[in-house]
């Protein structure tokens, strides 16, 4: 009940301007960060249960909540914009710019993960040119940052099996792969990390099939061998999930785009404690307590 009451309080507080802001990065406090995924923003009509235009307002609520709570950073897990309707490049860039402007209202460090829909109508350089990742080379689609005694690794699975990068719809969404060079980079980052590790990716790593990275087993082997990986946070599969495999938690966050109205929003705060990782889900996002491996 404590978590539920807290969420209700935070959501209600967004309309109260006089409330004090949270303290970001207080000494000795557990790392707390915000997380969202699959906004699929575009200015075109809803399709099925995907309400593309409503993601702007949903993002606004999420960012207001994260600012109010003073989380250490905010990360989105891919499919930030949508190009499934094959809009002209100018329109696709405009949609991406609008949702990035809402995301940028968060006044702390913020980070992006690339998803397949980001490249429906745009190239990777075009997408990366519109996004800001705090302290990261703007040309990098996979990267590392350290925060609060943790190493955070962002992966990019948007490569075809032949090694060609996704570019303006030149791919099938079921053909997601981590190339060999990126796996080598991942192994180096894990090996040299002085900290426990969190991984962020769009497509899933905890199984086999259409929604998973094709060479997920190879990536998991690297993560497991390090003995440092605490959890992998994923998007892509809009209904969300959680699995625990060989000492690593795989938490898939529910999509922001699914469902109409603020009650169908989805975002979360993650708190990394000494003995467990607690995901506090807002709106439709699912709570999860994940014990750390001894």
pLDDT digits (tens, 9 = 90+) for 94-135: 999 999 999 999 999 999 999 999 999 999 999 999 999 999
pLDDT of residue 238: 97
Residue 241: what pLDDT?
A: 97
The tens digit of pLDDT for each residue in 143-160 reads: 999 999 999 999 999 999
Note whether 292 and 230 are within 8 A (CB). yes
Please say whether the beta carbons of 117 and 151 come within 8 A: no
Q: Which residues pair with 199 in a beta bridge?
A: 153, 232
Q: Is the pLDDT of residue 11 over 60?
A: no
For residue 180, which of 215, 206, 205 has the smallest C-alpha distance?
Answer: 215
When pLDDT is cut at 50, 70 and 90, the band that residue 15 belongs to is very low
Three-class secondary structure assignment of the chain: CHHHHHHHHHHHHCCCCCCCCCCCCCCCCCEEEEEECCCCECCCCCECCECHHHHHHHHHHHHHHHHHHCCCCEEECCCCECCCCCCCHHHHHHHHHHHHHHHCCCCCCEEECCCHHHHCCCEHHHHHHHCCCCCCCCCCCCEEEEECCEEEEECCCCECCCCCECECCCCCCCCCCCCHHHHHHHHHHHHHCCCCEEEECCCECCCCCCCECCCHHHHHHHHHHHCCEEEEEECCCCCCEEEEECCEEEEECCCCCECCCHHHCEEEEEEECCCEEEEEEEECCCCEEEECCC
Q: Tell me the pLDDT tens digit for each residue of 191-237.
A: 999 999 999 999 999 999 999 999 999 999 999 999 999 999 999 99
Average of per-residue pLDDT values in the chain: 92
Could you tell me which of 172, 272, 170, 268 has the C-alpha nearest to residue 229?
272
- Which pLDDT band holds residue 19 (cuts at 50, 70, 90)? very low
CB count within 10 Å of CB 261 equals 11
Percent of the chain predicted with pLDDT > 70: 90
Average pLDDT score over residue span 54-76: 98
Residue 293 pLDDT level (bands cut at 50, 70, 90): confident
CA 240 to chain centroid: 12
Residue 24 pLDDT class (50, 70, 90 cuts): low
pLDDT of residue 5: 44
CA atoms within 13 A on the CB side of 282: 28
Question: Which of 125, 143, 120, 154 has the alpha carbon at shortest distance from 41?
Answer: 120
For tokens 């499934």, what's the residue?
84
| Residue 23 confidence (pLDDT) | 47
- Domains of the chain, each with CATH number or no CATH: 31-291 (3.60.21.10)
């Amino acid at each position: 009940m404590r978590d539920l009451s807290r969420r209700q309080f935070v959501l209600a507080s967004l309309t109260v301007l006089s409330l004090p802001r949270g303290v970001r990065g207080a000494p000795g406090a557990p790392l707390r960060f915000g997380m969202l995924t699959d906004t699929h923003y575009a200015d075109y009509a809803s399709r099925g249960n995907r309400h593309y235009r409503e993601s702007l307002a949903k993002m606004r609520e999420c960012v207001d909540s994260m600012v109010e709570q003073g989380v250490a950073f905010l990360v989105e897990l891919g499919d930030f914009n949508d190009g499934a309707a094959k809009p002209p490049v100018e329109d696709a860039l405009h949609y991406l710019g609008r949702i990035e402007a809402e995301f940028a209202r968060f006044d702390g460090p913020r980070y992006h993960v690339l998803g397949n829909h980001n490249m429906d109508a745009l190239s990777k350089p075009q997408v990366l040119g519109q996004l800001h990742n705090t302290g990261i080379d703007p040309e990098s689609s996979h990267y590392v940052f350290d925060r609060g005694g943790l190493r955070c690794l962002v992966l990019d699975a948007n490569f075809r099996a032949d090694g060609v990068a996704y570019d303006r719809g030149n791919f099938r969404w079921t053909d997601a792969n981590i190339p060999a060079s990126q796996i080598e980079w991942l192994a180096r980052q894990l090996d040299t990390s002085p900290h426990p590790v969190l991984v962020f990716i769009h497509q899933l790593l905890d199984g086999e099939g259409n929604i998973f990275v094709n060479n997920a087993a190879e990536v998991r082997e690297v993560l497991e061998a390090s003995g440092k990986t605490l959890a992998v946070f994923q998007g892509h599969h809009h209904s969300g999930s959680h699995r625990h495999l060989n000492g690593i938690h795989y938490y898939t966050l529910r999509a922001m785009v699914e469902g109409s109205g603020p009650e169908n929003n989805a975002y979360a705060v993650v708190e990394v404690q000494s003995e467990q990782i607690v995901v506090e889900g807002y709106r439709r996002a699912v709570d999860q307590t994940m014990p750390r491996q001894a």
